[in-house]
Structure 1
Amino acid sequence: MQLFFGLVNASTSCQVPRKFTSKVVGKMGYEDFVHFILSEEDKSSEPGLEYWFKCIDLDGNGLLTPNEMQFFYEEQLHRMECMAQEPVLFEDILCQIIDMIGPENEGYITLRDLKGCRLSGNVFNILFNLNKFIAFESRDPFLIRQERENPTLTEWDRFAHREYIRLSMEEDVEDASNGSGDIWDESLEAPF
């Protein structure tokens, strides 16, 4: 969500992939927020791929070049240094991206290349979301097992499920602190 706050505070730059529908100039409205959060949480969906592709394609030529990707990765390097993480050189990241996507031309990546790859959302996490990048790099065995158990779920489905559980647990804690006798029961979780 740290990315969200940075984008909400920006005015015209975050409107590059999609012009805001809000009547307040430079401000994100509800519809804009929903489109953004769907794109953020499921970067491998078609709308997510198109959204983030347009963010990186600085010159609008339909090609993601190493220079464009490096421009965004520089911010990730800065974040890694601030968090005392060992920085990963862009050259290594570029090799990883090329290996993941397998573009027709290794000098650039097209939207078509990304749409043909199951791991394409991870490219945008590498460039924009340090927490998801680190999670991808560390490959949490619990998350891998979840994905294998139900491969039909999208990243959005998994996000919505986690948030539902988190919010229901917060509600249960509030009820308990108010003297309510209700106790959280796992069998009442949503079936997804």
Structure 2
Amino acid sequence: MDYKTYLDLVLAMENKHEPQAIAYLFRILDVGGQGKLTSLTLRYFYDGIEDKLRASDNDIPSFENVLNEIFDMVRPANPHYITLDDLINCGKGDTVINILIDLQGFWAHENREAFTSEIPDEAEL
């Protein structure tokens, strides 16, 4: 990887909520170059996260649960795969990318209820 490619990756990772960053990262996630993310592709990235979770002795959600959550978030036009347009239009593309390639992002998503329950309500302030 040359320096320019590295900078592109860093910028995309830091701006995952932007459509251009989602498009850049989608091209990386689309390992088959088919223009879509299938359950097999999602499994490939889940396995990498799962390996890291096993190493840290954390509870590991099943792939089926994660897959269903991702498809529920994205609501793709075709129920068998996710396209770049699906990922951008759903408004949760950054979350999906975090789940697939970032251990901290995956963990934050899986424990989002615990995080929100720790935040005091305005009435408590």
Q: TM-score range by the shorter chain?
A: 0.7 to 0.9
Which of 86, 96, 116 aligns to 1:141? It is 116
Partner of 2:62: 89
Q: How many residues align?
A: 117
DSSP-derived class of the 2:37 partner: coil
Structure 2, unaligned runs of 5 or more = 121-125
Q: Which runs of 4+ in 1 moved over 6 A?
A: none
Q: Which runs of 5+ in 1 are unaligned?
A: 1-26, 146-192
The equivalent residue for 2:88 is 115
Q: Structure 1 residue 55: deviation in Å? A: 1.4
SS in 2 for 1:127: helix
Name the counterpart of 1:23. Answer: none
In structure 1, the partner of 2:123 is none
Could you report, residue by residue, the CA deviation over 1:77-134 in whole angstroms, capped at 9, with x for unpaired residues? 0000001111111111110000000101110000010110111111111111011111
1:100 paired with 2:73, answer yes
Higher relative contact order (CA 8 A, sep 6+): 2
Question: If the length of structure 1 is used for normalisation, what is the TM-score?
Answer: 0.56
Q: Deviations over 1:15-49 (max 9, x none)?
A: xxxxxxxxxxxx431x3333111211222211221
Q: Do structure 1's residue 55 and structure 2's residue 28 form an aligned pair?
A: yes
Q: For 1:105 and 1:43, locate their aligned partners in 2 and report how far apart those are by CA, in whole Å.
A: 23
TM-score by length of 2: 0.84
Higher Cα radius of gyration: 1
Q: Supply the RMSD in Å over aligned alpha carbons.
A: 1.9
